[in-house]
Amino acid sequence: MKKLLLAPSIIAADFTHLADEIAACESAGADWLHMDIMDGHFVPTITVGPLFVEACKHATNLPLDVHLMIEYPEKYLEAFAGAGANSITVHVETCPDLPQIINKIKSLGCKAGVTLNPATPASSLDAVLPLVDLVLVMSVQPGFSGQSFMPEMIGKVEEIRNKLDALRSTAYLEVDGGISAETLPLMLKAGADVFVTGSAAFKHPQGVGEGIRVLRNVIARSER
Ligand code: DX5
Ligand code: ZN
């Protein structure tokens, strides 16, 4: 039984106290730091790039889970790997030659992930499911934290869980968007094992440490 992991999404953090926020995530027991890279083209928002990833690398030992919401991700794989990414996840919608990109990410020494927008069918991943280390299912439209969870994505998680199990894949099945104390159990039951959380963690009234502790308790209570 795989350990169930929590990956706080750092773009929801208070950037004026970034190192403190990262330390609070670590001491509260976060497993990864999820880093949302956005270019203003694939998604409307512009966030951060390799320099930010490098800064976070110096501030934590947590694995950096880089989520590329950018056009032409193949142009930036070396930069993010060099900045310290532990995993690099690309959108199927931005990769005409997905197997080639997945293999390139692996050649750089990073775990290779693939993700898909809510409107993109799970079948779009079939060619690379045997290759990837991670599948990320978006349960919101990419581009912003704080959006409402899309319950129709639960079925997609179940579908991809079944595909991965049929392949006897050890890939992580990560979910991202609107994950909270209420929605995490639904995605856990559907077969997810890594939970990205932005607002539910960082916007908790008692701070991100408490936000993470709450979600860790939800996981403990819901284990399949
Ligand atoms: C959306 C990002 C998500 C988002 C999560 O484009 O990929 O990681 O920041 O934030 P919440 O958990 O608030 O939906
Ligand atoms: Zn993300």
With tokens 């692996």, the residue in question is: 106
Burial of 147 (0-12, 13-18, 19+ CB in 10 A): middle
CA-to-CA distance for 109 and 73, rounded, in angstroms?
16
* Per-residue pLDDT tens digits of the chain, which is 224 residues long: 679 999 999 999 999 999 999 999 999 999 999 999 999 999 999 999 999 999 999 999 999 999 999 999 999 999 999 999 999 999 999 999 999 999 999 999 999 999 999 999 999 999 999 999 999 999 999 999 999 999 999 999 999 999 999 999 999 999 999 999 999 999 999 999 999 999 999 999 999 999 999 999 999 998 65
DSSP 94: G
* Number of neighbouring beta carbons within 10 Å of residue 10: 29
Q: Could you give the residue numbers annotated as active site?
A: 36, 176
Gap from CA of 164 to ligand 1 centroid (Å):
24
Ligand 2 centre and the CA of 176: distance in Å? 6
Collapsing DSSP to helix, strand or coil, 7 comes out as strand
Question: Residue 134's beta-bridge partner residues?
Answer: 113, 172
Q: CB under 6 Å to ligand 1: residues?
A: 9, 11-12, 34, 36, 67, 69, 140, 142-143, 145-147, 176-179, 196-200
Name residue 116's beta-bridge partners. 137
**Residue written as tokens 């693939």?**
114
CB atoms within 10 A of CB 172: 22
Query: Which token pair is 114?
Result: 């693939």
Between CA 196 and CA 174 the distance in angstroms is 7
Q: What is the pTM of this model?
A: 0.97
CATH T-level assignment (fold) for domain 5-223: TIM Barrel (3.20.20)
Angle between helical axes of 208-222 and 18-27 (0-180°, round to 10): 30
Residue nearest to atom 6 of ligand 1 (CA): 142
- The residues spanned by each domain of the chain are 5-223
And the tokens for 124? 């779009």
H or E element that contains 135: strand 134-138
Q: Pairing between strand 87-91 and 64-69?
A: parallel
Contact 1/32 with Cβ under 8 angstroms? no
Ligand 1 atom nearest to 177, measured from its CA: 14
Q: Which amino acid is at 85?
A: A
Write out the residues surrounding ion ligand 2, Cβ under 5 A: 36, 67, 176
Ligand 1 centroid to 202 CA: how many Å?
A: 11
Contact 115, 135 (CB under 8 A): yes
Task: Using most ligand atoms within 8 A of CB, pick from 6, 10, 11 the residue to mutate for ligand 1.
Answer: 11
Residue 197: exposed, middle, or buried by beta-carbon count in 10 A (0-12, 13-18, 19+)? buried
